[in-house]
Amino acid sequence: MYKEQVDMNRVPQHVAIIMDGNGRWAQARGMERTMGHQAGAETVHDIMAAAVKLGIKYLTLYTFSTENWNRPEAEVSALMALLLKHLEEELFMKQNVRFRIIGEKERLPKNVREACEQLEERTKNNSASCMVLALSYSSKWEITNAVKNIADKVKKGELNPEDINEKTIDEHLATSFMPDPELLIRTGGEQRLSNYLLWQSAYSEFYFTDEYWPDFNEESLCKAIVDYQGRQRRFGKTGEQVETK
């Protein structure tokens, strides 16, 4: 059992997940793709609860990318309806979890956007963990938006170009309220970032699994963390430098 192997003193503070494989999970069972998304939504609840137990402070889930707007209209509508259904305040309050979203909120249907904003407000004082949905999100959009905001401050004389550094960019990203992810997990067998947290994952440890998202559970999460804990994070240094630190 990987759960028993987790070193609770070295659990990553921020875990980001690309939840892939809902549609393929459903098709493999002769179901409609939407049934896979339904099963995937249930998995979100289970992983949120597992994250709280493990002491993970930030759990960021790639829920709907900017590119996903190009999917069939019926599937997009079903995904938005499913999202509304599962924004259950009671679950977040029971787990003492704060809810946040990052992405192009303006593109979301009005009822979805308002429901998200209300849940953000109602859970703002919860402190056990923070679940962040990357919703209508793309990293290229995020970085472009940050550059525009920085350029606007330079234009207004509020910022000197010489003073722009990595911290400046960090502060203008949608994720400015949380640390970069130490561990980034992708389910479903694919091995790419798909325009997700490109800046923030510069030194993240990647973990890829063939498990489809609906099959991913607490034991799967613990397995990923045990794998992460077995790695040496060097940040450009040699192994000897890290060991003698």
Residues recognised as catalytic: 20, 68
Rounded to the nearest 5 percent, the helix, strand and coil shares of the chain are: 50, 15, 35
On whether the CB atoms of residues 29 and 73 are closer than 8 A, the answer is no
DSSP per-residue codes, 119-165 = HHHHTTT--SEEEEEEEEE-HHHHHHHHHHHHHHHHHTTSS-GGG--
Q: Which of 38, 41, 20, 71 is CA-nearest to residue 192?
A: 20
On whether the CB atoms of residues 187 and 211 are closer than 8 A, the answer is yes
On whether the CB atoms of residues 61 and 100 are closer than 8 A, the answer is no
